[in-house]
Amino acid sequence: MLLNPYKDKNIIITGGSKGIGLAMAKEMAALGANLAIIARDKSALESAQLAIEEMGGGGRVLAYACDVRDHETLSDYINMVRYELGSIDGVIANSGYCHPGNFHELELADFDKQIDTNLKGVIYTLRLAIPHILENKGGFIAITSSPAGNAGIFGFSIELIRRLAIQ
């Protein structure tokens, strides 16, 4: 018998409605995890929730439309996850935003939104979830990032700055 560390675990995934976040959510659901997916786009979030539930992994799937830049609302939803699922065993900070372009041509608002989402959103998510994980005497946290943060890719220079800040 193989060890399954996700069976019956309660996991939060920000950015869980699309891309890598949705792929991780599907994989963890298939392994029997209970999930709370958080994302900005309510329509994409509802589609993701339905797709995960239709897989039939057996776990619960909660979905909350929230921008990780909104600390107060994010706090409310993370507390709601704790209430609904009984505990939080892990969190994956996966939300991301990118506005590609030439560094010197980007508006300051573009930098602010990327830093607020990709850096402060990670900080907010972890700061709010870790106390719940510690209640369980253990669990896990994971932070994802774009390949653009590993090496300079034309038009994605702000992602490299964010990556360095997280490391």
Query: What pLDDT does residue 99 have?
Result: 82
Query: What pLDDT does residue 152 have?
Result: 65
Higher pLDDT, 96 or 123: 123
| Alpha-carbon gap, residue 42 to 63, rounded angstroms | 9
Please give the CATH architecture assigned to the domain spanning 10-166. Answer: 3-Layer(aba) Sandwich (3.40)
32-58 confidence digits (pLDDT tens)? 999 999 999 999 999 999 999 998 877
CB 5 within 8 A of CB 29: no
6-40 confidence digits (pLDDT tens)? 999 999 999 999 999 999 999 999 999 999 999 99
- Total-model pTM: 0.91
Q: Round to the nearest angstrom and report the end-to-end CA distance of the chain.
A: 36
What percent of the chain is modeled with pLDDT above 70?
Answer: 86
104-158 confidence digits (pLDDT tens)? 898 999 889 989 998 999 999 999 999 999 998 889 999 987 766 666 666 776 6
| Residue 79: pLDDT over 80 | yes
